[in-house]
């Protein structure tokens, strides 16, 4: 069986974890490995500040707190996304306002955002699906015009760029995920990227249960105290050690995934040229990180048959998000602005192929050959 995902494992992780436990004697949050991860992310992305968190969901919750999202505020986002994108704001009493996606990238359609903006709109949350950027220039222009906060759900977007800038660094806040299904992992984990230095201090306070503990440890104050509302959003240093091993090998993982991605693309292009399937589109000015290789069948029925056919042949291919506005909680908490032209239709056609660090060339060839076989029967 060629599984859909295998969590990344480089081989140096245990050594790093042992160092955290037996050498550093520091396994709670903000130990040496957490600091190294933060510094690595800052250097790699160019953001003012990166803070490791317990998940991307939590990084988004922090961003919602930092943006002072309140009951009744409206937050513009795509419906084709993971639940966390909406949850972080629903927890603050806000209303997710879903906008249709573009069929070519499955990202929010930037041309449909403006008409969804009301007096109550507070933020736009672009989701960079498959690690391919949304049209950020347009989104930032709207944010400026209407004084909105931009929180990038860059859960899948580490190592991707938009016009030379790292995803997660363009909006006010960016959120990465290091869940085991992502390119780089720590089991469960994430990071909050903060663009403006003026927002860093409050972020540190929110992450540390509302205390100014970070300032205390830097020796800037002589005792720490409770100064604001907050929670505990910092991961233990053992998890950070696992991640650091992978960040130190970031290019190795990146290139390995990219080889598989490019090979899928090459092998399936003839099917796309015959208009039997559609393959991912990378807009000009964007570089991606091979987070996901997806393809689109003609419709739901064909996709179901293809997934079954691959399963019979030992390949696990999977579909992805059920649009949030069609889910029970989405109906209760949010609303769809305008017409759902592509969100439902395209989500029903899309399927993801096995993609992980260490996927073998012959496995990619086998998966592609079975897809080609399916369409030639
Ligand atoms: C994975 C993912 C998340 C959630 O990440 P966690 O680290 O599991 O909280 C949020 N949004 C998107 C788009 C994701 O792919």
**Protein residues whose CB sits closer than 6 Å to any atom of ligand 1:** 55-57, 81-82, 84-85, 127, 153, 155-156, 177, 179, 190
- Domain spans in the chain, listed from the N-terminal domain onward: 13-247, 250-376
Q: What pLDDT score does 326 carry?
A: 98
Tell me the CA–centroid distance for residue 175 and ligand 1, in Å: 9
Q: Which tokens sit at 358?
A: 């260490």
CATH fold label, 250-376: 3.90.1150
Which atom of ligand 1 lies nearest, measured to the CA of 55? 7
Q: What pLDDT score does 109 carry?
A: 98
Percentage of residues in the chain having pLDDT higher than 90 = 97
Which atom of ligand 1 lies nearest, measured to the CA of 178? 7
Which atom of ligand 1 lies nearest, measured to the CA of 57? 9
Task: Assign 318 a pLDDT band (cuts: 50, 70, 90).
Answer: very high
- Residue-wise pLDDT tens digits, 329-342: 999 999 999 999 99
The shares of helix, strand and coil residues in the chain, as percent rounded to the nearest 5, are 45, 15, 40
Q: What angle do CA 274, 277, 279 make, to 5 degrees?
A: 110
Test site for ligand 1: of 87, 96, 179, most ligand atoms within 8 A of the Cβ: 179
Q: Which tokens sit at 160?
A: 């991707």
Q: What pLDDT score does 256 carry?
A: 98
Average pLDDT, stretch 290-304?
A: 98
Task: Assign 90 a pLDDT band (cuts: 50, 70, 90).
Answer: very high
Contact 113, 139 (CB under 8 A): yes
Task: Assign 1 a pLDDT band (cuts: 50, 70, 90).
Answer: very high
Does domain 13-247 fall under CATH 3.30.1330.10? My reply is no
Task: Assign 146 a pLDDT band (cuts: 50, 70, 90).
Answer: very high
- CA distances for 200 relative to 124, 177, 197, 204, 207, angstroms: 20, 19, 5, 6, 11
- Residue-wise pLDDT tens digits, 12-49: 999 999 999 999 999 999 999 999 999 999 999 999 99
Q: What pLDDT score does 201 carry?
A: 96
- Residue-wise pLDDT tens digits, 229-259: 999 999 999 999 999 999 999 999 999 999 9
Test site for ligand 1: of 155, 180, 183, most ligand atoms within 8 A of the Cβ: 155
Q: What pLDDT score does 246 carry?
A: 98
Question: Cβ of 52: how many Cβ atoms within 10 Å?
Answer: 30
Tell me the CA–centroid distance for residue 361 and ligand 1, in Å: 28
Tell me the CA–centroid distance for residue 119 and ligand 1, in Å: 29
- Residue-wise pLDDT tens digits, 180-205: 999 999 999 999 999 999 999 999 99
Round to the nearest angstrom and report the end-to-end CA distance of the chain.
22
Q: What pLDDT score does 211 carry?
A: 95
Length of the chain, in residues: 377
Average pLDDT, stretch 249-277?
A: 98
Out of 182, 276, 296, 370, the active site residue is 182
Average pLDDT, stretch 196-225?
A: 94
112 belongs to the catalytic site: no
């Amino acid at each position: 069986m060629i599984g859909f995902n295998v969590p990344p494992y480089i081989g140096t992780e245990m050594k790093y974890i042992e160092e955290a436990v037996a050498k550093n004697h520091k396994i709670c949050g903000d130990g040496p490995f957490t600091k190294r991860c933060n510094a690595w992310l800052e250097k790699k992305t160019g953001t003012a500040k990166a803070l490791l968190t317990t998940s991307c969901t939590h990084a988004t919750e922090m961003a919602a707190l930092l943006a002072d999202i309140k009951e009744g505020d409206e937050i513009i986002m795509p419906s084709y996304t993971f639940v966390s994108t909406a949850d972080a704001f629903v927890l603050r009493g806000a209303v997710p306002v879903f906008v249709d996606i573009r069929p070519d990238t499955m990202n929010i359609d930037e041309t449909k955002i403006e008409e969804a903006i009301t007096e109550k709109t507070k933020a736009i949350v672009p989701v960079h699906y498959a690690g391919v950027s949304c049209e950020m220039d347009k989104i930032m222009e709207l944010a400026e015009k209407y004084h909105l906060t931009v929180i990038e759900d860059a859960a899948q977007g580490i190592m991707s760029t938009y016009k030379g800038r790292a995803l997660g660094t363009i909006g006010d806040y960016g959120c990465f995920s290091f869940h085991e299904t992502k390119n780089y992992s720590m089991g469960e984990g994430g990071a909050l990227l903060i663009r403006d230095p003026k927002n860093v201090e409050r972020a540190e306070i929110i992450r540390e249960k509302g205390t100014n503990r970070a300032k205390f440890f830097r020796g800037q104050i002589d005792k720490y105290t409770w100064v604001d509302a907050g929670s505990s959003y910092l991961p233990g240093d053992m998890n950070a050690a696992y991640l650091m091993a992978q960040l130190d090998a970031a290019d190795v993982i990146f290139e390995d995934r990219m080889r598989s991605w490019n090979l899928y693309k090459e092998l399936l292009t003839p099917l796309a040229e015959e208009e039997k399937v559609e393959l991912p589109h990378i807009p000009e000015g964007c570089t991606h990180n091979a987070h996901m290789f997806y393809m689109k069948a003609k419709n739901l029925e064909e996709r179901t048959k293809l997934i079954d056919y691959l399963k019979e042949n030992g390949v696990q291919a999977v579909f992805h998000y059920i649009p949030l506005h069609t889910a029970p909680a989405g109906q209760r908490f949010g609303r769809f602005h305008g017409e759902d032209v592509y969100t439902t239709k395209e989500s029903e056609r899309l399927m993801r192929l096995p993609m992980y660090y260490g996927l073998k060339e012959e496995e990619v060839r086998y998966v592609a050959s079975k897809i080609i076989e399916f369409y030639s029967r």
